[in-house]
Amino acid sequence: MVNTRVNLCGVELKNPVVPASGTFGFGYEFNDIYDINVLGGISIKGTTKDARFGNPTPRIAECTSGLINSIGLQNPGIEKVINEEIPKLRSVYNNVIISNISGFSIDEYKYCCEKINAVKDVDIIEVNISCPNVHNGGMSFGTSPENAQAVTKAVKSVTDKPVFIKLTPNVTDIVSIAKACEEGGADGISLINTSQGLRIDLNKRRPVIANKIGGFSGRAIFPIALKMVYQVYEAVKIPIIGIGGVATAEDVIEMMMAGATAVQVGAENLVNPYACRDIVNNLPRVMQKYKINDLNEIIGEAHK
């Protein structure tokens, strides 16, 4: 038997496979098509203080080996997520719940994290300072070490749950930002969020997405994500959740060898709703193929 269990800051996951925030709803919706308890964890839809309708439509554009989205953090707001969405998920799911928090100010991040800290069913808080699809918030905090550290310090002052800061790839030096988060007290780093992209409708002769530019995700960005996980692993001592273009069990192994302790699956869920289940089911076979008995033994192995 192979060991697929991993540990994130004292929180044990039965396997490292986690659907990424924004690509899996609040999780319970998928329980209608398969038993979501096969998943190591679920990162639920990004949550802000107030309800948001999101950006105008159209908000999705297909690309070769990926897609562009500009959803704009559509969500029902922190109170409804706490009182309705998380209880619905916990009623059908027994494993790790990761709450993804977004904001438009440090005070909003702090407010939402303090609220979610009181929710016993939430195991880990993932703070999104990397959303490219909202104005005056999200990514503006993730593009400078100083701002990233300020958000980290603020949320760590109001929570005793493990905090993972989710970073944007749309920077020139992701390592300095990751280190600033670590110095600010982050328990871990999630990376990467979407890159940026554009599609033009040849008939209408204008951008496909109403917001013009959106977040580019999917299999095409896997090498970029892998590179950044590899770079950040060499610079910090806290655990990493690797995200970006993951579509197969082999991708999970590769991410972990680059330095990730757990791995999130994003856009692939939109192409194949069974993607995470299939990856979990295939993982032991792929481990045996590459003579891996324990996933913990390969974390960062590519650096040796």
Catalytic residue numbers read 131
- 75 backbone dihedrals φ, ψ, rounded to 5°: -165, 160
